[in-house]
Chains A and B, each alone.
Chain A
Amino acid sequence: MTAEAGDIRAIKARRGRIESAWRVLKTAPFSAWLGMIIIAIYVFCAVFAPWIAPYGEAEIVGNAYQPSSAEFWLGTDQIGRDIFSRLIYGARNTIGIALITTLLSFAIGGTLGVFAAIHRGGWLDQILSRLVDALMSIPTLIFALMLLAVFGKYIAALILILALLDSTRVFRLARATAINVVVMDYVEAARLRGEGLGWITMKEIVPNIMPPLVAEFGLRFCFVFLTISSLSFLGVGIQPPTADWGSMVAENKSLITYGNPTPLYPAAAIALLTVAVNFVVDWFLHRTSGLRDEH
């Protein structure tokens, strides 16, 4: 045996995470890069809003409905606040709240979904699945409106309600994908080895259902943030004077009839972010699902 030689010889260390990530990123197509750059700019705006924005979020700096000028790049709104500044602060609120909501809905839906898959057919699976079916049968927007009317228009309530309603879809996806993984021989091999439930879930199942879940994360993020915009537009979402793209469209919507583009700016901000996120998600899906271009 080469025991002594083996003791001296160093085994090559595993490749670092940053290096692996970079190798993957290098293969990303142009659209994915564009998406990532746009998202990065949005995030930058959201984080550094107070430093970038020329005026305060709710600061009245001029007269109502001023057209765009060197002083107010995109003009002012109905009570004389700078639209450009509010757009930047809006990124902070809209994206921040959407992100927290989506993360929360994935935490709830993902965990319960995997759990239900492991105990497939058991009473826990039955209860959870039927509950989700019941929740999904109610139209999300109307249900959210109703719950918000009951619990009040707090941001925390908004996040919690949307996360809960959205987690039903995550639950379905997580359960469906995990069911396919749970029956694999490698999961059985882990059980035979005597591994605990936690290890099997985290090491054997979760890594294998991540690709569809991450892709879904991107899509759900867009939907949550569109829902928040819709709710704000309807007046039950994020409350004034907090800047938010949906309510900005709502507040200035009548201007469009006079040929004033003000409501289009926040709408464009919403659209651009949605497209950017989808670019990245598409690439990710394509990369991980093993789809190949047909040549």
Chain B
Amino acid sequence: MSTEKKRTKGEILLEMKDVRIEGFSDDKWHQIVKGVDVTLKRGEVLGLIGESGAGKSTLGLAAMGFARPGCRISGGSIVFDGIDLLKSSEEDLRKLRGSRIAYVAQSASAAFNPAHRLLDQTIETALDHHILDRGKAESDARDLYRRLRLPNPDTIGSRYPHQVSGGQLQRAMTAMAMSCRPDLIIFDEPTTALDVTTQVEVLAAMRDIVEQFHTAAIYITHDLAVVAQMAHRIMVLRYGKEVEEAPTREMLKSPREDYTKTLWAVRKLQMHERPSDDIVLRVHDVTASYGGEITVLEHVTVQVPRGRTVAVVGESGSGKSTLARAITGLLPPLSGEIYFDGKPLPRTLRERDKDMLRRTQMIYQSPDTALNPRQRVRDVIGRPIQFYHGISGQACDRKVVELLEQIELGESYLDRLPGELSGGQKQRICIARALAAEPELIICDEVTSALDQIVQEEILKLLMRLQEETNVSYLFITHDIATVQAIADEIVVMYQGKVVQQGPKSQVLSPPHPAYTELLLSSVPQMDPDWLTQLLAARSARSTRVPA
């Protein structure tokens, strides 16, 4: 194939100079990317990291000469293999995209067309660009599936997107990007939506395939430990500007800028466990099901001490969220009891009185859907105060302001709509809404997973401070072990609806672990560039799995 003519390391493939990108909002053009230089050699992987809104994705898309609707590339130059992308016609760009520059998006389930089979979508670009004929493209796709270690590589292509798991879909998308053997792939947060255990497999597959075909890549993420596994060089972005750039090992060892150091520090948040015997919530031998034969929870027993944090860990589908639904009464359990303060709770929501409801509050994963977009902050937080405590008018407003100050926002936020807040601020409002009821237990369902690392840490710190101030207990549902280490007193590990292990944090986190806990713990990316390599080596030494 002609594109394989010169794949020698060292030659510059992509050169972006002083790139400026503007976005249109509030009737004005704002600079999103403010003059960034990127140089990428053939076969090199560059990691772009930064918090949300730093301009990572915008810059990544600009490497394809593309600006999202409502954005424009207003200055600088982008040269890809001698072609000036900003001066090329739309038709020339169309020929480049997909065949020589490919893109792997964050949400594979949103990127695939649900009406077509995986194989047809994988080879579509190759056929469209007349690079391969159908027969060759199909056998090539099967080869890619094999290299990406997808199960049943010969037949998986005939499935529809909803018939495979999220991690498999993400690998299929990588195969799609690879089908034309591009010179450059842009990975935009490809593993952010995946579980840690799945993430490891996807990362390993993507790293191998980029290595095998000597493809250059830009890897965009907010997760440092992930980028440390993938990238040769790391560039830190903030507010659309470059903070610093260095080879991966060098940057991990000695970050120069203060901002980079704060990024590094995030993962070091830790708290010592505090034992307690004062049990506020006791879930005893609960079995629950969404109807049908399959039970989603099987004989689950969990205890939450007053003023403490119990973390429930497990991958998606392990029954963590179902446990929350059983406790809140949304899903009445088939058998078993739930005790609050030693007294049994009625099974259904309807049977519980106002005061029982007040004592358990919930915070959701996605603050976007947890806040009514048409209600102002004043009403969102004011309603529980009015509803449970019967306070209204000025007195209610005053309490709302007090709560806003407690969550480190001020009176100026009173009349804002959720759309006028950032993700972290929205989550704070959700916390304030839960606090307004003056609860004894707050169920936190993946409250930090939709946020980037720095905001995550701020939210965790806030939750810990609020616990000290109000002695509220948390049932903290998460799949992120780093979060667990940061805030939990006790840990419950769940797998397929059963409790695999539970106990004080120090006990659960120290070996020996049951097999599943071990897998979960070892899958958490570490800030060590050799972590993935060592992990895979250790795992293949233990199992009989043959590496591709």
Contacts and interface: CB of A to CB of B under 8 A. Distances in A.
Interface in A1-25: 6-7, 10-12, 14-15
A48 interface: no
8 contacts: A10-B394, A14-B415, A192-B330, A192-B357, A192-B362, A193-B387, A208-B373, A295-B72
Contacts of A295: 24, 70, 72
A186 interface: yes
A194 to B, nearest CB: 4
Closest 9 CB pairs of A and B: A207-B374, A185-B370, A11-B397, A194-B357, A186-B372, A185-B364, A185-B369, A294-B69, A184-B369
B369 A186 contact: yes
A160 B369 CA distance: 39
Interface of B: 24, 69-70, 72, 328-330, 349, 352, 354, 357, 360-362, 364, 366, 369-376, 378, 383-384, 387-388, 394, 397-398, 400-402, 411, 414-415, 433, 437
Nearest to A194: B357
Contact of B372 (A7, A11, A12, A208): A208
Main secondary structure of the interface of A (DSSP, over half): helix
Contacts of B373: 208
B366 A185 contact: yes
A188 interface: yes
Contacts of B415: 12, 14-15
A6 B402 contact: yes
A184 B24 CA distance: 29
Contacts of B362: 189, 192
A11 B387 contact: no
A195 interface: yes
A189 B387 CA distance: 13
A191 interface: yes
Contact of B376 (A14, A185, A189, A203): A14
A88 B357 CA distance: 60
B372 A207 contact: yes
A188 B357 CA distance: 13
A111 to B, nearest CB: 19
Contacts of A12: 411, 414-415
A183 to B, nearest CB: 9
Contact of B411 (A11, A188, A208): A11
Nearest to B70: A292
A7 B383 CA distance: 20
Contact of B387 (A6, A191, A194, A207): A194
Interface string A226-260: 00000000000000000000000000000000000
Contacts of A188: 330
A187 to B, nearest CB: 8
A204 interface: yes
Nearest to B379: A203
Contacts of A185: 364, 366, 369-370
Contacts of B376: 14
B357 to A, nearest CB: 4
Given A185-B364, A292-B69, A295-B70, A192 B349 contact: yes
Given A186-B370, A195-B387, 14 more contacts: A10-B394, A11-B400, A14-B378, A14-B414, A14-B415, A185-B366, A185-B369, A189-B362, A191-B330, A192-B329, A192-B357, A193-B384, A193-B388, A194-B357
A181 to B, nearest CB: 9
A10 B400 CA distance: 13
A184 B383 CA distance: 18
Interface in A167-193: 184-186, 188-189, 191-193
Interface string A107-139: 000000000000000000000000000000000
A193 B354 CA distance: 8
Nearest to B387: A193
B53 to A, nearest CB: 18
B410 to A, nearest CB: 12
B370 A192 contact: no
Contacts of A11: 394, 397-398, 400-401, 411, 414
Contacts of B402: 6
A194 B397 CA distance: 21
A292 B24 CA distance: 9
Nearest to A294: B69
A294 B330 contact: no
Nearest to A15: B415
A194 B354 contact: yes
A188 B70 CA distance: 34
Contacts of A186: 369-372
The interface centre, meaning the residue of A6, A7, A10, A186 with most chain B CB atoms within 10 A of its CB, is A186
A80 B394 CA distance: 66
Interface string A207-232: 11000000000000000000000000
A66 B437 CA distance: 76
The interface centre, meaning the residue of A11, A14, A15 with most chain B CB atoms within 10 A of its CB, is A11
Contacts of B414: 11-12, 14
Nearest to B418: A186
Given A12-B414, A189-B433, A6 B364 contact: no
A11 B401 CA distance: 8
A10 to B, nearest CB: 8
A191 B328 CA distance: 10
A208 B433 contact: no
A20 to B, nearest CB: 10
A159 to B, nearest CB: 32
Nearest to B380: A186
B374 A294 contact: no
Nearest to A295: B24
B337 to A, nearest CB: 20
A193 B357 contact: yes
A89 to B, nearest CB: 41
